[in-house]
Amino acid sequence: MSDCIITRRDGFVTIEFDNYKVYSDTFTRSTPTQLSVARDTLAGASVGNYALFAGGWTNKASNVVDAYNINLTRSTPATLSVARDRLAGASVGEYALFAGGYTGSVYASAVDAYNTDLTRSTPTALSDARQLLTGASVGNYALFAGGYTGSVYAVVDAYDTDLTCSTPATLSVARCELAGASVGDYALFAGGYTGSAYSAVVDAYDTDLTRSTPTTLSVARDTLAGASVGNYALFAGGYTGSVSAVVDAYDTDLTRSTPTSLSTARRYLRGASMDTHALFAGGSTGSLTSSLNAVDAYDTDLTRSTPTALSTTTNRGAGVSFRTYALFGGGYAGYGPSSVVDAYSADLVSSTYLPITAGSKYKLNSTTETTATKNTVIKVSVPITGYIKYKGGKFE
């Protein structure tokens, strides 16, 4: 839903609609043009009118970047400055950033930034070269946390809207293969592997980059995925000696709840968000070749639904949250790297029913203002523009 404002004045509670949309728990899946190069262990991020998939591995580290616009048309902007896989993506201001990774011979500290015109720049490198890190955004910062280079890292690098790098407090526990997601005034980093054990630790960074440690995950695990919807950051799946179906949700106060589990336990899945849902797609039941095509969606009330499966089984792909779309691209398809991209959008409801109380005034979708003579319910085409003035400061 979008663009609905509630005000109180002159004895009325007024709901003002401006192109107000209502979405269902059904989804349309489309398959735009494939990636220009098939690859797994790539990263995704969005900026302006573009969703980007960068880097990855085919038979060598890749420097390719594929960009999809709001019509899901693909272009190929300038390549990464350093070819690498197992990198991380995050967005801040007018930039999509891709950081760290592995070149096939050395660990990378390179950071590439793409602006809203898809022009590439190379900000200050990470403070430590590393792979298997993760990204998340909060306020005016894109953060890259954790990682691995033969030992695990606790370092966090933060890039502001001018691409200036700082290093806030480290993670409370060093780890790799963790997950990132954002909610309210926090970027959260959850789970991972410490080098000797699976972790349940969650670190939260606020808009001032101050770190706190909310309640731990309900189950310690690595290779999980994060995504956000409404007032929640969700962490789903993973591995803790066996694959997990657990989902942990953190609200804007960092209070944890455990919504319905995934429909299929799995690791190496990917998360992405649209306006109305957080989606978790693909994954593996354990080995590299045991790819899945399962998709689970959670709405703003944390109710789970199961959209149409991915068009191909895949794990170690990338997810990108992009306006009304959740995009999933690349990955390992059981036979080798994949170039497939699946785009999910929630179906727009064509009409909805609105309660009107006696004495209330309403004008919807260019109709004339009407005063209700009794309590009633009216059917309105969606999207909605106009208003309802509920008499008496309340409505049923």
pLDDT in tens, 91-107: 999 999 999 999 999 99
Strand 270-273 to strand 134-138: parallel, antiparallel, or no bridges (unpaired)?
unpaired
Q: How far is CA 395 from CA 218, 301, 360, 383, 384, in A?
A: 39, 22, 9, 21, 19
pLDDT of 392 over the 50 cut? yes
Pair 121, 215 in one domain: yes
pLDDT of 217 over the 90 cut? yes
Residues of the chain by 3-state class (helix, strand, coil), percent to 5 = 0, 50, 50
Pair 275, 359 in one domain: no
Question: Which CATH number does the domain housing residue 304 bear?
Answer: 2.120.10.80
Nearest Cα neighbor of 284 from 40, 53, 60, 86 is 40
Instruction: Decide if 136 contacts 182 (C-beta within 8 A).
Output: yes
Output the furthest CA–CA distance in the chain (Å, rounded). 76
pLDDT band at 26 (very low <50, low <70, confident <90, very high): confident
- Give every strand in the sheet of 156-160, ordered side by side: 134-138, 141-145, 156-160, 165-166
- Does some domain include residue 313? yes
- Does some domain include residue 294? yes
pLDDT of 270 reads 98
Q: What is the pLDDT averaged over residues 246-266? A: 98
- What tokens does 184 get? 């309210």
Pair 84, 223 in one domain: yes
- What tokens does 71 get? 């019509």
Pair 340, 357 in one domain: no
Pair 381, 315 in one domain: no
Strand 202-206 to strand 186-190: parallel, antiparallel, or no bridges (unpaired)?
antiparallel
Pair 261, 326 in one domain: yes
Where a domain ends, among 330, 348, 366? Answer: 348
Instruction: Decide if 180 contacts 145 (C-beta within 8 A).
Output: yes
- Does some domain include residue 396? no
pLDDT of 396 reads 43
Structurally, how many domains does the chain consist of? 2
pLDDT of 8 over the 80 cut? no
pLDDT digits (tens, 9 = 90+) for 265-280: 999 999 999 888 999 9
pLDDT digits (tens, 9 = 90+) for 33-62: 999 999 999 999 999 999 999 999 999 999
The DSSP output letter for 315 is B
Question: Residue 351 CB: number of other CB atoms within 10 A?
Answer: 10
Average pLDDT, the chain: 94
The DSSP output letter for 131 is B
Tell me the C-alpha distance between 361 and 389, whole Å: 5
Q: How far is CA 308 from CA 32, 281, 329, 341, in A?
A: 16, 10, 16, 14
pLDDT band at 20 (very low <50, low <70, confident <90, very high): confident
pLDDT of 143 reads 98
Per residue, what are the HEC states of 318-373? EEEEECCEEEEECCECCCCECCCEEEEEEEECCEEEEEECCCCEEEECCCCCEECC
pLDDT digits (tens, 9 = 90+) for 283-340: 999 877 799 999 999 999 999 999 999 999 999 999 999 988 999 999 999 889 999 9
Pair 187, 57 in one domain: yes
Tell me the C-alpha distance between 29 and 198, whole Å: 34
pLDDT of 395 over the 60 cut? no
pLDDT of 1 reads 41
Q: pTM for this one?
A: 0.87
Highest-pLDDT range among 100-114, 275-289, 377-391? 100-114
pLDDT digits (tens, 9 = 90+) for 69-81: 999 999 999 999 9
Tell me the C-alpha distance between 55 and 286, whole Å: 24
pLDDT band at 109 (very low <50, low <70, confident <90, very high): very high
Pair 112, 122 in one domain: yes
The DSSP output letter for 292 is B
Q: pLDDT higher for 68 or 366?
A: 68
Question: Domain residues for 197?
Answer: 23-348
Pair 137, 238 in one domain: yes
Pair 324, 205 in one domain: yes
- Does some domain include residue 367? yes
- Does some domain include residue 198? yes
pLDDT of 386 over the 80 cut? yes
Nearest Cα neighbor of 190 from 212, 160, 222, 153 is 222
Surface-to-core class of residue 285, CB atoms within 10 Å of its CB (0-12 exposed, 13-18 middle, 19+ buried):
middle
DSSP string for 68-106 = E-TT--EE--PPPSS--BS-EEEEETTEEEEE--B-SSS
Q: What is the pLDDT averaged over residues 162-187? A: 98
pLDDT of 374 over the 60 cut? yes
Nearest Cα neighbor of 133 from 122, 121, 143 is 143
Pair 387, 355 in one domain: yes
pLDDT of 22 over the 80 cut? no
Q: How far is CA 104 from CA 107, 132, 176, 183, in A?
A: 8, 13, 18, 35
- Does some domain include residue 79? yes
Tell me the C-alpha distance between 218 and 149, whole Å: 28
Least confident of 56-65, 208-217, 370-379: 370-379
Where a domain ends, among 313, 333, 348? Answer: 348
Pair 8, 61 in one domain: no
